[in-house]
Structure 1
Amino acid sequence: MLRNREVQILLVLLLSITAIGFIVAALFISMPAAVLVLTVSIGLIGSSLIFTKWRYREIQKLSVYLKQISSGDFHLDVRDNSEGELSLLKSDIFKVTRMLSEQGALLHEDKAKLTNAISDISHQLKTPLTSMIVMADLLRDKGLEDGKRAEFTRNLQVQLERMEWLVSSLLKLSKIDAGTVFFKKERVLVAPLIQAAVDPLLIPMDIKMQYIKINGDEQVSFIGDFHWTAEALINLIKNSVEHTSEGGEISIHFSENALFTEITITDNGKGIAKEDLPYIFRRFYKGKNAGDDSVGIGLAMAYSIITSQHGDIEVNSQPGVGTRFQIKFYKQVI
């Protein structure tokens, strides 16, 4: 402590004041008064040094505490619930420690999610890649029949399109998760939005001879992003198309009230098993009625897009009867 330059300066200053006070008291008052001044001054200097030493000891404890934090130990509590500058400093350090602990936990959770996502992506890409490698080897055979060559080429094209869709969807999901997607906040008319979502699916619906019914007021609208919301609806309607048999019906109804704008997509397809309902919006989850080509990412993307715009989506389904997706975009977030 005494090697500290600030303490040395303070000590010299106090001793100088003591010496001056002793001399003045001895010359102008009396020797007993001078002795009293000297005694009191020495007591004050000693008290100051004791207090300074105590503060040094407390600061040293804080230094040890910070070293433990830097080594990853966030469980110590340095607070003493007292008044004073050191107590306030201890309290602030504890708050920062808790914040670092929470951020560390979030980073660890994000790391685990990233690891799982990479594992899931690898698993999803492995099957089409293996199939493509096999078909590429078969196509090298010069004696392969033209019909088989055309079939393998067609299958190869299908697998490539599937991989392109998967990678594109994962990139979109990653952007949403990272918060780098800027969702526009503009008035979106629901009627043109539904039409934009249905158009890309008209051919698959025509092949399966499915009937689609759209019902709603032309003026119904909400505040959101047209293109991203259309992306979400495409995935929801696509799910209905895939799980509805030939000649089935898909119904889309939209309405608006003082609280929210609602879009309902209903089909009379296979339905979703009761035990699958809590998990269908989970990434890469495949229910019992999922097809072999299902990846389990379309509904997860739709959920992320809608909830990122302060919307809400619910699903009700009964096996053998059909499924209903109910989307709500609220007028004001409370």
Structure 2
Amino acid sequence: MLRNREIRIFLLTMCAISTVAVVISALISPVATMLVFITSALLIGCSLIFTRWRYREIEKLSSYLRRISGGDYSLDVRDNYEGELSILKNDIYKVTIMLSEQSSILQQDKIQLTNAISDISHQLKTPLTSMMVMADLLNNSQLPVAKRTEFTHNIRIQLERIEWLVSSLLKLSKIDAGTAQFKKEPIMLEKLIQKALEPVLIPMDIKEQAISITGEATVSFLGDLNWTREALLNIFKNCVEHTGEGGVITVSFSENALYTEIIIADNGKGIRKEDLPYIFKRFYKGKNASEDSVGIGLAMAHSIITSQNGVIDVKSGKDQGTEFHIKFYKRVI
């Protein structure tokens, strides 16, 4: 404590004042001298005791901070007394809670990253293994032309699948990192739906599926045309995949003072009740999913919609079809 320069100056100042007071009181009377001396000694002693107590409290706080820096967030130094040290303790506790929450979030992010890498490697392992096998077979000079053509076609399909998967993961990582730039432009729903349907028209034609679109031409919302088209396209792909031949996909849209709503429904085999809570989870594949399904399309649709002040819900049941309800709110909720 006495190594502190401020404490030494404080003590020297008090001693100097006490000395002057004792000298002056000596000119008055011996009794006054003794009274001033005792009073000065008590004041200096009380000051030293109080200063020592404060030093001990500061040492405790320093020890507490060292334990925090070591990752121990379980300590609680709060008290219910008034004073600057109590205020400091409470502020340190608040910072401790904040650091604890941030540490928990970082740990969850690490777990999610590890799981994502594991899922990605699993998704890439199957097509890569298949291509390696077919590439080895193509090295056989005696391989029939028909088989060579078949293997080459299959390799191209697997490469396209990998390209789509990598592209989708890059888009999702952009959204997760907050680096995706979503525009705020007026989008006409009729135009948006037509653009989103274009890539699935041929598969629908092959399966002889019908499409029904209802809604006023003036319905619109503020958002990003390309990103929202990507979201709806993934939903349409899901509907086409799970709807049988001759099935019907219906799209309706409307708006009111609060939100713009899009309802996409099919009369396919539906989604099992136990799968419904997880269909927007990345890499989740329901029991009715096809073998080629990756489980990333609906997760991307969910991320894109929610990033534009929207929500998406689904209603479905086994052999009862599926309805996707999308709402883009006109004000932040």
**Cα distance in 2, alignment partners of residues 318 and 81 from structure 1:** 56
**Cα distance in 2, alignment partners of residues 83 and 187 from structure 1:** 56
Give the TM-score, by structure 2 length. 0.97
**Are 1:268 and 2:267 an aligned pair?**
yes
Deviation at 1:209, TM superposition (A): 2.1
Deviation at 1:111, TM superposition (A): 0.7
After the TM superposition, which residues 80-119 of structure 1 pair with which residues of structure 2 at under 5 Å, given as runs?
80-119=79-118
Give the structure 2 partner of residue 164 of structure 1: 163
Deviation at 1:32, TM superposition (A): 2.4
Give the structure 1 partner of residue 174 of structure 2: 175
Q: Deviations over 1:258-280 (max 9, x none)?
A: 22111011111121112111111
Q: Deviations over 1:283-308 (max 9, x none)?
A: 11111111010000000110111112
Of 321-330 and 85-94, deviating more is: 321-330
Give the structure 1 partner of residue 247 of structure 2: 248
Give the structure 2 partner of residue 305 of structure 1: 304
After the TM superposition, which residues 141-152 of structure 1 pair with which residues of structure 2 at under 5 Å, given as runs?
141-152=140-151
Count of aligned residue pairs for this structure pair: 333
**Cα distance in 2, alignment partners of residues 76 and 176 from structure 1:** 37
**In the alignment, residue 323 of structure 1 is paired with which amino acid?**
T
Deviation at 1:237, TM superposition (A): 0.4
After the TM superposition, which residues 1-334 of structure 1 pair with which residues of structure 2 at under 5 Å, given as runs?
1-27=1-27, 29-334=28-333
Deviation at 1:3, TM superposition (A): 2.2
Q: Deviations over 1:131-150 (max 9, x none)?
A: 00011111111111111111
Unaligned stretches of 5+ residues in structure 1: none
**Cα distance in 2, alignment partners of residues 105 and 99 from structure 1:** 10
Of 98-107 and 205-214, deviating more is: 205-214
Deviation at 1:35, TM superposition (A): 2.5
**Cα distance in 1, alignment partners of residues 134 and 81 from structure 2:** 75
Instruction: Give 3-state SS (helix, strand or coil) of 2:286's partner.
Output: coil
**In the alignment, residue 4 of structure 2 is paired with which amino acid?**
N
Unaligned stretches of 5+ residues in structure 2: none
Deviation at 1:75, TM superposition (A): 0.8
Instruction: Give 3-state SS (helix, strand or coil) of 1:250's partner.
Output: strand
CA RMSD of aligned residues (A): 1.2
Q: Deviations over 1:39-91 (max 9, x none)?
A: 21111111100100000111111111112212221111111211101000100
